[in-house]
Amino acid sequence: MIIVKIVYCRPCGYLDRALELARDLLQYFENIKVEIEQGKNGIFDVYLNDELIFSRYKEKRFPENMEILKEVGKRINNSSN
């Protein structure tokens, strides 16, 4: 099973953003599990099977949901080939 983990900064108020991304992932992919984990210090990271695929710190911005959907889809397709 594919597991996507979203780590968000609760004190920063990023929960709504994390929930929206989780909803989009669950609507777009059938066999996927989404975990949402509280963090702090401005974090908003997205992992696919424990591999970091997006970091707000590294990119200096939030991800677009479609950007994450495309990256997850690409990696799922690559792993099934």
**Interval 29-51: pLDDT, tens:** 988 999 999 999 999 999 999 99
> Beta-carbon neighbour count of residue 42 at 10 Å?
12
Instruction: Give the domains, in start order, of the chain with CATH numbers.
Output: 2-80 (3.40.30.10)
Confidence of residue 1 (pLDDT cuts 50, 70, 90): confident
Which of 16, 66, 71 is closest to 44 using CA atoms?
16
Helices 15-28, 65-80: inter-axial angle, 10-degree rounding: 40
SS3 28: helix
Q: Are strands 32-39 and 44-48 parallel, antiparallel or unpaired?
A: unpaired
Q: How far is the C-alpha of 43 from the C-alpha of 38, rounded, in Å?
A: 9
pTM of the predicted model as reported, rounded to 2 decimal places: 0.94
